[in-house]
Structure 1
């Protein structure tokens, strides 16, 4: 067989070989209290005619970022804080312009730190200042391990900055009293909820409003009450395609279609029905009565943005560490 014939024969064999099947599943790595939300979103996505399987992984947002850097093959992430996606950018897993790839800074819905108290609100909790009072036990996850906890710390600090006219000594004194009122720092938001509801620890749980309202619905208004503070921090839930994974698996198209669905009226309705505030005007209007008005400050306006927050508050020896050391 001459070389020309052999090459032609090989080409025929290659042409006749069936194309490799395209993946029909993706993995969504998400934060730990989003289990119910994405179970509902995925069911709605399937009902819309999507022919892919969306598998879920849930843990603390920061833990999920570490897992991906260490090999978890997540096609998409739906996190609860920007800094964890930026860790994936730094690791070469997500593109630098991820925030512009989807609307609203790649945040399909949002929430805010709020309070859950026991029926009758026996400690009279109404605002952040009450959490530092003597005899009040506060439950929220550790800001060192949880995005949920970081939002709580920042929201409390934002309130204190206003209350004490940016007097750092008074702000630190308030935060130290607040942290001293925490009997145990759980590693994530769902663990904090479990400590408050099942283990009956604490007088008040601080977590995302979405979790507060979901717990009240699950257990009943005769067991728990929601308290919305006077001011809180806009808590965005950013999403991103994990470029390094989708390019390896060939799942970019289906990954993008899934995240796009979260912005559709159907996806927004699911989020609102699961107590998340949404940006779709029609869906937001339909659920307006379910969400109390609250003044929200942003990370940019209150603290100069996430890069500055990471450097000043959450780096080793930063302002968060000072609060812990003061305990």
Structure 2
């Protein structure tokens, strides 16, 4: 028998205060309400969750006075954990209530929700929208621990304090803080999102088996930093390209997230010279060669930038910013040294 969403919401409402203490632990009880900043568990006082049935409505219903958002406790679970697929919300709610696991229903009988399909571009856009700017968050702490301090063009990075994580379908749900990166096409439209789960203090990645995952349409697209014109740089990892940006803060950068995706990245119409930020491994060599071949065929000059160690973030952390700049400087076209490096020297 399919369990109706309103039945599950009602069960959660019977334990409204316990739900709030678990998923909205940044708030506190005020009389017959739980008060918190918003449904994503930010500190503050603009959102109220009813803890008991009353004349103004049933327990479990909430309203955010600052935004006008409202919903029930299933919405609290979804937003506070960053869940995208409704099936995952149901599973988490049943886990919280200690209800038995539901066997999958035939497709014709499943609950039909308005949530975006898991792994879709729309799911990626919703995940990014659930997150917050990185200033003063664990994402900023994490990047600074990686030696990255030039954060002026990082609008495509956001922070989610309690991002859903499950290594496989048989494992329990966990929540970890995460860096959320928007993957965009050449027009700036979000086509995907990349999650990097972080340690609770932001000092490193989270101590889990799979520390990074992406959803959405990735091929040809990238996480972009700055506005590209006739010169830009492209590499694999977010931390790698941001390390290069430490030396050239005004050059546009793009992180394709893997060697395969780097080789397939699409070129802006105005691009005339592309710096290929390679990782020092066989996959990086293959991505470099394929991308240079594609760029040359499109009439774009392509120049490889090679690190001294495994990648440019290793160079930044272990050799320092001055050594990083010196290494990049000798690999640039002379006109780009004057344009992109003199102000960073």
TM-score w.r.t. the length of structure 2 is 0.21
- Larger relative strand fraction: 2
